[in-house]
Amino acid sequence: MADKAGANVVSGRLGKALTRVQREVDDFFDAALVVPNDARRRLVDAMRYAVVGGGKRVRPLLCIATADLFGVDRATSLRAGCAVEAIHVYSLIHDDLPCMDDDELRHGRETVHLKFDEATAVLAGDSLHAFAFELLSGQHMSGDPFTRAQLVECLALASGHNGMAGGQMMDLAADYEDVPPFDLHSITRLQQLKTGALLSASVEMGMILGHVPHEGRGNLTNYARDIGLAFQIADDLLDVEGDEDKAGKALRKDDEKGKQTFVTLMGVDQARAQARALVDQAIGHLAPYGEEAVLLADLARFIVERDR
Amino acid sequence: MADKAGANVVSGRLGKALTRVQREVDDFFDAALVVPNDARRRLVDAMRYAVVGGGKRVRPLLCIATADLFGVDRATSLRAGCAVEAIHVYSLIHDDLPCMDDDELRHGRETVHLKFDEATAVLAGDSLHAFAFELLSGQHMSGDPFTRAQLVECLALASGHNGMAGGQMMDLAADYEDVPPFDLHSITRLQQLKTGALLSASVEMGMILGHVPHEGRGNLTNYARDIGLAFQIADDLLDVEGDEDKAGKALRKDDEKGKQTFVTLMGVDQARAQARALVDQAIGHLAPYGEEAVLLADLARFIVERDR
């Protein structure tokens, strides 16, 4: 269990929470994605291959742990967390495609386009994308339609051209000639979109479920922004220092491509110091929630210390 | 105008309506998709290239003409129609990719992956996908959150693995060895998903905006199902008999691939007769709406007689 959840830095409390949410998310997708007895079988097989039984499930746990602060029932926050995870997984499937990052390994297994084929991978990503919004909009989500509409809007904004997909474009744009080399400012902006937007949405959706008014969202919004950036710096450090077997994916890719990252721009030591400072700052934003927010604090620490 | 809207079979009334909706949809996307002054520029350029200034806009007009029957204000039905169109256009971008149908021409212009590149095409499709749900869920859509949530659910179901994407998988599956050759029953099922689901959603979203209760939706649901099938038979006929210049895309592709279609299974004459019978049947379902539904009747006729 400790191994699956990310090695010795995982506290008993966080390890337990991650193991539980990993099982719940797997069970949810396993039950929700029924393989049809026709030629769509291949598509749903590919969706299930990608979404059942892999990943740390950081985003669902962020959503659930935030919602817990406001007494939201767990079936509801789990469902919202699974919608964010469906978006995250669709983006991994598309990012791994030969025309994008061309990756062969994900969570220690073949990527979807290798296990199936490219066309199936494109469609499986598209289908998980639509599925996320199906999960959020139906009456199973919440009896309150205003909450459902807000959740959809939050996730659509975070994943589209002004969020995750926009950040991915900025990342790829480094390969196009007319884009100046990244500096720290532009990398920060890029990562706030590419990784940060969906992590922030996970927290915001927990607050939407908790009916937290906009003016009460500042602290947790700041927490999410700080861990988002720390998460990406940790990813860049993993790419340089990590163990491919533990990470379950190809590393050293940034260096091969000569790509600028937080680590190439700041150096390993300063990058690690910066990630830890961001985590301390993130945890500081949790102060008003006291002991109740201990899981979110654990999660912030885990994000920079993880080895996968 | 007659040429753009689809030649001499377009009545003056329908021609006017199509020209108007084409201009409105173009203006809507032109205003809504603002090109940012950073490395996301390429992404939004690609989205705009695909979504501004092309296409017949049959789906927005279906949504608007249905909503008109129930007195919905046009800004609202246009916005919903644009959401359906965003989904339709994203699916065209992904379908045209080399790993899918590998098409070079769309609406008489280079496909997005040729004009830009494959990675940008994947992301532009993904971004239009998210954008559709952004359009439906925000307060600009409708003051009533229940309506917004219903619209999102309808469109997500129609576009995901149990709708459009599922149908596309069935279509591709013909190339995999373990799938039996299509018969008329399996092609009908496939096309009800691949093309029919989104056309039906266009009509259903018009009814959702009009607050039509489920038990009052039967006639227009049947209308949509019939024109959906007629639309696909007409597409298959176009593939055999059409003029590539007018169609603005490659034709004769089914035959090259040895693919079974309505036309290969029924022959040209029977397929045409079937399409016309479906249109008559569709128009019959409009009877309760009398003169008010004349545009939906015109649209049904246009769908089988169009030359692109």
Q: Is the pLDDT of residue A221 over 90?
A: yes
Q: pLDDT confidence of A3, banded at 50, 70, 90? A: very low
Between A246 and A63, the higher pLDDT residue: A63
Instruction: Give pLDDT tens digits for B166-191.
Output: 999 999 987 776 677 788 898 999 99
Of A125, A149, A173, the CB nearest to B39: A173
Between positions 149 and 178 of B, the ones with CB within 8 A of A are 149-150, 152-153, 155-157, 159-163, 165-166, 168-170, 172-173, 176
Q: Which regions of chain A does DSSP assign to beta strands (E)?
A: 105-106, 109-110
CB of B201 closer than 8 Å to CB of B228: no
Distance (Å, rounded) from C-alpha B227 to C-alpha B294?
Answer: 15
Q: Is the pLDDT of residue B255 over 70?
A: no
Tell me which of A1-10, B121-130, B278-287, B294-303 is least confident.
Answer: A1-10
Cβ neighbors of A223 (< 8 A, separation 6 or more) are A203, A282, A283, A285, A286, A296, A300
Name which of A41, A94, A127 to mutate to probe chain B: the one with the most chain B Cβ atoms within 10 A of its Cβ: A127
Instruction: Give pLDDT tens digits for B113-152.
Output: 999 999 999 999 999 999 999 999 998 998 899 999 999 9
* ipTM of the complex as predicted: 0.94
Of B97, B123, B161, the CB nearest to A47: B161
State chain B's mean pLDDT as an integer: 91
Using a CB-CB cut-off of 8 Å, the residues of chain B touching A156 are 130-131, 133-134, 137
What pLDDT does B8 receive?
A: 47
Q: How close A270 comes to chain B (CA, Å)?
A: 27
| Tokens of residue A159, six digits | 């994943």
Cβ A97–B122 below 8 Å, yes or no?
yes
Which structural domain, as residue segments, surrounds residue A43?
2-305
| Best CA proximity match to A224, nearest among A201, A240, A194, A247 | A201
Average pLDDT over residues A265-279: 93
Count of A-B CB contacts under 8 Å: 187
| Tokens of residue B28, six digits | 């809507």
For B259, the enclosing helix (H) or strand (E) is none
Report the percent of chain A where pLDDT is more than 90.
74
Between A54 and B292, the higher pLDDT residue: B292
A40 touches chain B (CB under 8 A): yes
Instruction: Specify the pairing of strand A109-110 against strand A105-106.
Output: antiparallel
CB of B89 closer than 8 Å to CB of B9: no
* Smallest CA–CA distance from B144 into chain A, residue: A146
Q: Is the pLDDT of residue A22 over 90?
A: yes
Between positions 102 and 141 of B, the ones with CB within 8 A of A are 117-120, 122-123, 125-127, 129-131, 133-134, 136-138
Using a CB-CB cut-off of 8 Å, the residues of chain B touching A152 are 133, 136-137, 148-149, 152
Cβ B39–A117 below 8 Å, yes or no?
no
CATH of the domain at A34: 1.10.600.10
Of A126, A161, A186, the CB nearest to B165: A126
What pLDDT does A259 receive?
A: 77
Structurally, chain A folds into a number of domains equal to: 1
Cα torsion through A282, A284, A285, A286, rounded to 10: 100
What pLDDT does A249 receive?
A: 74
**Per-position DSSP letters for A242-266, written without gaps between them:** --HHHHTS--SHHHHHT---HHHHH
Residues counted in chain A? 308
Q: Is the pLDDT of residue B251 over 80?
A: no
| Tokens of residue A85, six digits | 């995870």
* A254-263, B4-13, B172-181, B227-236 — most confident range: B227-236
What pLDDT does A6 receive?
A: 44
Instruction: Give pLDDT tens digits for A89-141.
Output: 999 999 999 999 899 988 889 999 999 999 999 999 999 999 999 999 998 99
- Beta bridge partner(s), residue A110: A105
The gap between the terminal CA atoms of chain A, to the nearest Å, is 14
Backbone φ, ψ for residue A105 (5° rounding): -130, 135
| Helix, strand, coil shares, percent, chain B, to 5 | 70, 0, 25
What pLDDT does B5 receive?
A: 43
Cβ A123–B168 below 8 Å, yes or no?
yes
What pLDDT does A107 receive?
A: 85
